[in-house]
Amino acid sequence: MNSKTPDTPHWDLGRIVTELRQTRERWRAGRSRDFNSREFPSRDKIDQVCLLLRSALFPLRLGPADLRREGEDFFVGHALDSALTTLRCEVQLEISHLERSGDTPISDAQARQRAAEIVTAFANALPRLRQLLDTDVEAAFRGDPAARSVDEVLLCYPGVLALVHHRIAHELYALGAPLIARIVAELAHSETGIDIHPGATIGPHFFIDHGTGVVIGETAVIGQNVRLYQHVTLGAKRFETAEDGSLEKGQPRHPIVEDDVVIYAGATILGRVTIGHGSTIGGNVWLTRSLPAGSSITQASSQSRDPHENGSA
């Protein structure tokens, strides 16, 4: 009995590999750079670091399933040692990459020393980050009547996970590792649908309810006891340009949200405006102007006050 064997596909891999190499070489030649090995931090390595840091910050909730309290300190020490060692190597790669294109590139020894300083400062900040995150967990528990416990909040709520990553990312951003900080933020973005730039400054007791589609820009400043709902955007209205037409980097262009503000689902707030203390922004409001403390804005009132205001995120 004869059986027919399907034809074996022929991918012509030799040609494809050659053409891909030629494409890479053209791209590199256009940038006058010689790539001999990996120059950039690894997204996979940073993902491993984040998982270890999450478990070290909350060992009995986000750590191993078989962990017991008597072994907690041992596990935390082991997890931190592994995470910080890996992080130092990745920070060194970032520093070397950033300095390589400068006028006075630093040596490997200098990059290693700078990386050690950054990661040491980051490690020393971890107890403070844990305290900040405790306020965020409490804010989520208090702010959602569906929450049965703080444990449920930490284990299940995407907004809390996004904040765990943001607190880590913001610290690294401030210490001088912006690329790694951005990777940390984007890992959370991929997992939760919440996009918080690591440069954003966020006070304690911050709660993002539901969370999907929330966008918080680089220069946003958020006070304490602030609550956001899904699809809220704190974005830029316009971008300043230099004389050559390129975009100006780092200019304040995102909103300032003062303490005790609530912003409901779908609201869009653009530009360097200030939302005053204790204000409430209703669902689907489009806002490009500052508000005094204690304001209450709905979609209807916003349209009646300024029907022509516009902007872009």
List the domains of the chain with CATH numbers: 39-193 (1.10.3130.10), 213-313 (2.160.10.10)
Task: Give the whole-angstrom CA distance, residue 205 versus residue 202.
Answer: 9
Q: Which helix (H) or strand (E) holds 47?
A: helix 43-57
Whole-model pTM? Answer: 0.88
Only one residue has tokens 């929330």, namely 214
Q: What is the CA radius of gyration of the chain?
A: 24
Task: Judge whether 158 and 211 are in contact, CB under 8 Å.
Answer: yes
- How wide is the angle at C-alpha 196 spanned by C-alphas 191 and 198, nearest 5°? 110
Task: Give the whole-angstrom CA distance, residue 265 versus residue 261.
Answer: 13
Q: Note the Cα 198 to chain centre separation in Å.
A: 5
- Structure confidence by residue, pLDDT tens digits, 46-77: 999 999 999 999 999 999 999 999 999 999 99
pLDDT tens for the chain, 313 residues long, are 555 556 767 889 999 999 999 998 888 887 766 666 677 899 999 999 999 999 999 999 999 999 999 999 999 999 999 999 999 999 999 998 877 666 567 888 999 999 999 999 999 999 999 999 999 999 999 999 999 999 999 999 999 999 999 999 999 999 999 999 999 999 999 999 999 999 999 999 999 999 999 999 999 999 999 999 999 999 999 877 777 777 777 789 999 999 999 999 999 999 999 999 999 999 999 999 999 999 999 987 765 455 445 443 3
Facing residues of 208 across strands? 228
